[in-house]
Amino acid sequence: MGIESLYLRTTTNIKLLRMKQFYTAAFAVLLTTAVTAQGLLPMANKTANQRRLEAFNTPTEVERDVIWSHDCNVDSCSSWVFDNGSPIAGSPWEDIDLNFECTVEGPAGPYNQWAGGTGDGSAASPMNSTTADNGLLIVDSDLFGADANYDAAWIENSWVQTADPIDCSSLEFVSISMETRYRCWDNGASDDSEKCLIEVSRDGVNWPSIETFAEIDGTVDYGDGELVASRWEVFPGFETSDGTDNPSLVEFDITTAAGGQEQIWVRFRWSGTWGYSWEIDDIQIYQTPANDLRIDNYTSYTDYFTTGVYEAGVFAAGQLSELQAAAKVYNVGYLDQEGSTLALGVNGSEVGASDPITISYQTDDTLRVVYDMSEVGTYDLTYTVSATAEDENPGNNTASQSFEVSNLHYGRDNGTMVAAFPGEGTDDFIALAPYDIFEDVTVYAIDVAIVAGSEDGTPVIAHLFDGADENYITEQYGGLIVSTSELDLAAQYSNDGTEDDVLWYTLVLEEPTTLPAGSVIGAGFEHYGGSSVQIWESQYTYDNTAFVYGPFGSGSAYDWYYTNETPMVRLNLNPDATNTVSVKEVATANFQLYPLAPNPANASTRLQYRLDQNSDVALEVRDITGKLVTRINRGTQAVGYHSITLDVEEYNAGVYMTTLVVNGARATERLLVD
């Protein structure tokens, strides 16, 4: 890993939170003149040219003429031969073996946080392959490199290969597929030695060279002078900290070495210098189809890697009138696919298609369609790829995504609660989601999804940050524009993650703030520490597109870090936004709100309450987006018990928030209309 990596490996491990990947800006400053070290990446503001993670399609059920398969069951490890070796003198292969393993566990190295581990020596969960429960193959280079006897000059080289030959004589064209998970350490620092390889031998003795990766050395001469191409790189082009999905399905045509052969042996080989880990499961060898396009995992309704526009679960109306959707399409078949086209459907209607192109054998291309998204509502997108020739496996030709356009909210998250942040809940922190501002817009409040169990009465606050400020994401409050008032949490406004509808906690800005077109704005939620507070995070987001501040670095150092889960922190554009009731307000409100009945309701429901003093009373009903549906003013009411009957026959089915406002204090009950 070089000088930088040696330094980092001798310092205290970075405190990475459960199912998170954070990378410190402070260490990045130290490494600006050299290759970044494992687990640490420089902080960077978003640019349109950020490199994306390589995308592969997720496992799908396909019809194949499978002639051999293996689910890597731990009870059948004898089907494999494990070995290692290195051309470098002094390598440790006799004293410390780094082999593939047949196991039910994921990576256990000290930097396994990327795979959901804790970095404390315990194994992370294995990848989510189809048969992960019964076992998989793994090479854990990170665990090996952490050994005290490790020498950074060593080139690691380990492999696992089939013990018995495989008969491919019935197949003219042969492909191999597997479910896999992998993260690249640093192909540059290790002199381009970090490789994940598939290799084939026709006799089980002669294999491609283990000493070099030159194209000629990926061939085998079986004595007749013919050089047989017998090596395939699984993740070509991967760079520092690139990784796959969990899992990815990869497919390779191995016809040159295996086509029509009565016997072949297959090897999976890892080479590198103190990397992360590579997992393999559910391997198949089968007849390569003639015509088969697939949509890989890169689908984006903003075409993020071309346009630089963040994907948002909820777009603010008026910010964009059109978007560009994109999908990466790969030719799995052995024939070139003429007329390859991506059709885009929105809410059940086709809105356009890409220009037809030819996608050659074993290559991919990204196809794009521009579409209108100016109307408020939900956008359900369907991607469908086709070609002139009929596809032999249409099951991998479609993908789907969805998002909303709202008058009242702008949210990077998709509304699905995935993980609680921070892991312990006691750390003080700021969670920040950046937003592209395309047209002037006024923000009135910030919404956040609070995790159930967060402690009553804990003070919290929210902020807006200017992404163009030179101190943005470098200082704790760098680029601060405006904040909300401090609010004491009330636990009844939290989410346990089991429901589809999110109950948002609203913090009103000290003054409405107009954000100019062309700016990037960070919406941040802050917990001061001391009592348990967590927020929900949503779907995966790319490196340097969401951030947190807190004691998450080496030695619990406070700094800004990026996270690959989207904080559920939204911009609230509702001029009528009001603070969610706090514990102090409830205690001094001199009223009691009782549960709605019936709830769920389809015709009407009754809200009961008790007043302990003469009070001005009103009832507000809002839909899940925060839009005001009904307001009922009751004027000044006397001490005692009262009720309001709410007619919901004209309401659309869904979740609503009914808020009783008593002398300015607020209490809310959730209503389900069915």
Q: Phi and psi of 218, rounded to 5°?
A: -90, 10
pLDDT of residue 21: 29
Question: Pairing relation of β-strands 314-316 and 398-406?
Answer: parallel
**In this structure, are residues 616 and 523 in contact, taking their beta carbons and an 8 Å threshold?**
no
Tens-place pLDDT, residues 608-633: 888 888 999 999 998 766 678 999 99
pLDDT band at 229 (very low <50, low <70, confident <90, very high): very high
* Site of tokens 């490494």: 31
Side chain identity at residue 41, one-letter code: L
Tens-place pLDDT, residues 643-654: 899 999 999 988
pLDDT of residue 39: 31
Alpha-carbon distance of 185 to 553, in angstroms, equals: 19
The residue ranges of DSSP E strands in 332-475, in sequence order, are 337-346, 349-353, 357-359, 364-372, 377-386, 398-406, 409-410, 419-421, 429-436, 441-448, 459-466
In this predicted structure, which of 61-70, 205-214, 230-239 has the lowest mean pLDDT?
Answer: 61-70
Q: Which comes out higher in pLDDT, residue 577 or 280?
A: 280
- Name 121's bridge partners: none
Alpha-carbon distance of 327 to 329, in angstroms, equals: 6
Tens-place pLDDT, residues 329-387: 999 888 999 999 999 999 999 999 999 999 998 789 999 999 999 999 999 999 999 99
**pLDDT of 418 higher than 90:** no
Reported pTM: 0.67
**In this structure, are residues 294 and 333 in contact, taking their beta carbons and an 8 Å threshold?**
no
Q: How large is the average pLDDT for residues 476-497?
A: 88
Residues 6+ apart with CB under 8 A from 261: 168, 169, 202
Alpha-helical segments (H) within 122-277: 141-145, 255-258
Alpha-carbon distance of 507 to 656, in angstroms, equals: 19
Residues 6+ apart with CB under 8 A from 417: 449, 495, 497, 502, 536, 537, 538, 568
Alpha-carbon distance of 564 to 419, in angstroms, equals: 11
Alpha-carbon distance of 613 to 349, in angstroms, equals: 57
Q: How many whole angstroms from its chain centre is CA 460? A: 27
